[in-house]
């Protein structure tokens, strides 16, 4: 397993602790608050619908030009063209620095390119703007797990499970780490 340089490991831990678990009051609509509360209690079919509604809210920048950059970045990422995705998403984050989803998606592109430092930095920014983005929290968990910080990865995944009990990847992540970190099932 690749060893994470000490400095980056400290940065990842600090990001996870300060951003993910403190959940500061962020600008959030009543609709988002209601959807997040409903998601935490939803049955699987309803959770899928609520997740789609939240994603629809979070992917709207308020600018058709910025939405186009996000869409092009997402398409390039889905096609495996991560460098092109990074270019589109860098333009997006340059022009719309307060749009959390641009940072989150660029973090995914950096992660796909094994650029973990930039991925962590972008996740930090995304979570500072939207601390309720359970997919970004899951991404931090994946990075922490990648570098052997299984305890903090388990904590991140547990946080996602609390917010979105039917997240499609969180159960397998928690099961994978549970015996190694001495956690208990949620």
Q: Give the pLDDT confidence of 95-135 residue by residue, as tens digits.
A: 999 999 999 999 999 999 999 999 999 999 999 999 999 99
- 3-state SS class at 112: helix
Closest CA to 136 of 115, 113, 111, 114: 111
In this prediction, residue 2 has a pLDDT band, given cuts at 50, 70 and 90, of very low
Closest CA to 140 of 126, 181, 113: 126
C-alpha distances out from residue 131 to 19, 25, 107, 112, 147, Å: 7, 8, 15, 22, 23
Question: What is the reported pLDDT for 7?
Answer: 54
Domain 61-131 part of CATH 3.40.47.10: no
The predicted model scores a pTM of: 0.84
Q: Say how far apart CA 94 and CA 122 lie, in whole Å.
A: 12
Tens digit of pLDDT for each residue in 29-82? 899 999 999 999 999 999 999 999 999 999 999 999 999 999 999 999 999 999
């Amino acid at each position: 397993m690749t060893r994470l340089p000490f400095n980056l490991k400290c940065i990842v831990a600090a990001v996870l602790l300060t951003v993910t678990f403190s959940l500061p009051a962020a600008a959030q609509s009543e609709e988002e608050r209601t959807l997040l509360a409903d998601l935490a209690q939803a049955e699987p079919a309803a959770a899928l619908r609520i997740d789609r509604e939240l994603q629809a809210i979070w992917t709207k920048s308020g600018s058709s030009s910025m939405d186009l950059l996000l869409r092009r970045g997402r398409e390039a990422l889905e096609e495996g063209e991560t460098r092109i995705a990074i270019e589109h998403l860098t333009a997006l984050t340059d022009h719309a620095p307060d749009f959390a989803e641009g940072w989150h998606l660029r973090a995914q592109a950096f992660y796909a390119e094994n650029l973990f430092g930039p991925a962590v930095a972008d996740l930090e920014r995304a979570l500072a703007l939207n601390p309720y983005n359970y997919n970004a929290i899951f991404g931090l968990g994946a990075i922490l797990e990648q570098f052997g910080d299984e305890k903090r990865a388990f904590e991140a995944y547990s946080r996602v499970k609390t917010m979105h009990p039917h997240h499609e990847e969180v159960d397998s992540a928690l099961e994978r780490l549970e015996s190694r970190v001495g956690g208990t099932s949620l």
